[in-house]
Structure 1
């Protein structure tokens, strides 16, 4: 067995935002591709997967909704519901009716896990966990096969509660490992969670001085010219006149002046690119020896191309831990990097607002250069099609007058 012992194999979902119909996103390698096997793929037993995947598509095509689907499934499992009165989180196509469906397969600790979930606002309609072909639990509206150790608790399971969440909270070992994969091994980064209000994200910088030094070194290596990262902790009342205190972190970047002095800039006042790269550095360095799954939406939008290139090397050629990386992007220059066709995905949206998801490998193109040209020519859809004439018309521009 090579690499890490935790990887995503594939993820199927249906009725999530613009994805009305069932689609499958797979990290399994494409048959017959021999490029960058050592650098860009990892094998665990009989399963071989790519280390990274890139999802291309025009603005509003729905590519971010692939990341949203991962987040939604993770939230249902990790946070559960607090009572019968709480609705399950849904984000259906056009806010319409119909069940939401998930199926995900992954390997953790050398075991193959398959988890399936079908639900609506108020009920789990189907749920199943299989480990190495052994059914751990299976649930439908009419029947429940419970793990033997908690069979007597069948009556305590709510209709709006994930059995995976329920079983792990009652110490069923097989379900605890699966739950930990969702809770600890999936890391999501987007513009919405790089703010300092996400205290849990930044806490390791405060509690682990060694990590802070590594992040600072990483930032300097990437030419950010930061002298130091200053972190202060304060405590504020949770409510007015309440003695219960809540921890708050305050981050500043220190820069050196020409005269030998220094000045500081609050984290919130820094550029988006600086904040994104620091969070990326922190997540990578804090988990570098662990097989995590990184999900990043528009990861390259605010980063210099050279920073994007170094991240590609970190997640592919320099990555020997089984760490995986899934990113949405507009940047076709990524297609000039040493990647394989089975690492490239396209999201397109129909006239009726329905997104589709396709792998470049399925177009029978083995050359990534051919894929780039065909994509830029619009042969796969998933690209922004601009109608110059309509824009000139609304602006009342007439070429004949020039």
Structure 2
């Protein structure tokens, strides 16, 4: 369960941008859109099941999700995929002489396995400068570790880690400048840190609509009959007219799809490249053969009760997109995961966007309190019937070209009286594009 995420000095974000999932004092839609976390250290506040972020193009909406993705990538890979001295690929805010040489900071407040944690770090391209973890196993904050780089001594100082058990000295010595201690300790078998690591790398899911494809859902359907049933339920609820799915997989050629003559070519190549070719070709052959060719057909019931099957590619773009969404969202609802989606409205009818949001804002379909956070331009769901004020967020750039993130809770909204969509489109809440027409005459020469 996500409580809060913040980022500072990353891409278009100069000053700290903070997304809160804690409910405010509003009483609207409490039973459907919010829940009370059953966790130590989180008993005095409620959490939202969903949140939406609006803003003009290039306002920085995607950079909120990019920052989250960067944090997750570093947790997952810094100890294993980065070599000593390799750059962390951190991108600070570049339109300020002050920020360009300052570190980027990521911070996450979340609940894993019934315990609240606060984990974060600051880093530049060369090294991790600070890293911290606080836990609430007994309802009060405990410092499990703190790490800080001293520029003068060029050493790290470690403080307040008495609550952390295991081979701490070994883990500290093994932690490179460009690696996170959390990631390193996990690689060296820290059991105590597993719930933190698993939540950040498994329970936190980031979906980019342009990367979704129907093969992911199809593969899950083939591997698990329950997934097929749940995906069908999902598609039926979306009123797409689909009542059956058939997924078939056929092998591509043979394990020798790429002929051995290529592998054993006598072309005058360097010895090093020839050896690489000989080792790579069999692997490519096998992967293509195992992957096979997957076909997906959707079944529509006719008046006489029989089925007419269509290739999924014959369905509308919206239906294809819903099919691609199906397995990831079904699994997230079942697992109680936190899902971030960038540009949810892509290829989806507004009714479908509203349907997806309703799945999370429902005790029936979301019994495990999964959470959905998404960016969109779709304003028809910008309604007090769909969202609470604290679920609606806006993103815009200030005069310094820096992204700011703020909530509708910052504005006075009359319950049941104000039309939020109309107010937003009229500019009352900001976060709309400013179109300067003064120079359009220059287009005509």
**TM-score bracket for this pair, using the shorter chain length:** 0.7 to 0.9
Instruction: Check the 8 A contact 1:57/1:382 in 2, yes or no.
Output: yes
Q: Which 10-residue stretch deviates more, 256-265 or 13-22?
A: 256-265
The equivalent position to 2:421 in structure 1, one of 364, 367, 372, is 372
Instruction: Mark the runs of 5 or more structure 1 residues left unpaired by the alignment.
Output: 1-6, 398-402
1:46-94 Cα shifts (integer Å, max 9, x gaps): 2311110010001111111111111111111012243204322323223
For 2:187 and 2:93, the matched residues in 1 are separated by 32
Corresponding residue pairs, total: 386
Instruction: Check the 8 A contact 2:111/2:117 in 1, yes or no.
Output: yes
Confirm whether residue 293 of structure 1 aligns to residue 338 of structure 2.
Answer: yes
CA RMSD of superposed structures (Å)? 2.9
For 1:229 and 1:395, the matched residues in 2 are separated by 53
Where does residue 339 of structure 1 map in the other structure? 387
Instruction: Check the 8 A contact 1:92/1:100 in 2, yes or no.
Output: yes
The alpha-carbon deviation at position 272 of structure 1 amounts to 4.5
Instruction: Check the 8 A contact 1:72/1:89 in 2, yes or no.
Output: no
Where does residue 10 of structure 1 map in the other structure? 4
The alpha-carbon deviation at position 320 of structure 1 amounts to 3.0
SS of structure 1 residue aligned to 2:74: helix
Instruction: Mark the runs of 5 or more structure 2 residues left unpaired by the alignment.
Output: 38-42, 150-155, 257-278
Where does residue 228 of structure 2 map in the other structure? 212
For 1:137 and 1:298, the matched residues in 2 are separated by 37
Instruction: Check the 8 A contact 1:216/1:229 in 2, yes or no.
Output: no
Instruction: Check the 8 A contact 2:117/2:196 in 1, yes or no.
Output: yes
TM-score, length of structure 1 as denominator length: 0.86
The alpha-carbon deviation at position 289 of structure 1 amounts to 2.8
For 2:332 and 2:90, the matched residues in 1 are separated by 30
Where does residue 168 of structure 2 map in the other structure? 151
Confirm whether residue 117 of structure 1 aligns to residue 121 of structure 2.
Answer: yes
For 1:127 and 1:22, the matched residues in 2 are separated by 17
SS of structure 2 residue aligned to 1:177: helix
The alpha-carbon deviation at position 168 of structure 1 amounts to 1.9
TM-score, length of structure 2 as denominator length: 0.78
SS of structure 1 residue aligned to 2:334: coil
Compare CA radii of gyration and give the structure with the larger one: 2
Where does residue 137 of structure 1 map in the other structure? 145
Alignment of 1:115-264 (within 5 A): 115-132=119-136, 133-141=141-149, 142-145=156-159, 147-153=164-170, 154-195=172-213, 203-226=219-242, 227-232=244-249, 234=251, 239-242=280-283, 245-246=286-287, 247-248=290-291, 250-255=293-298
The alpha-carbon deviation at position 191 of structure 1 amounts to 2.5
For 1:68 and 1:120, the matched residues in 2 are separated by 16
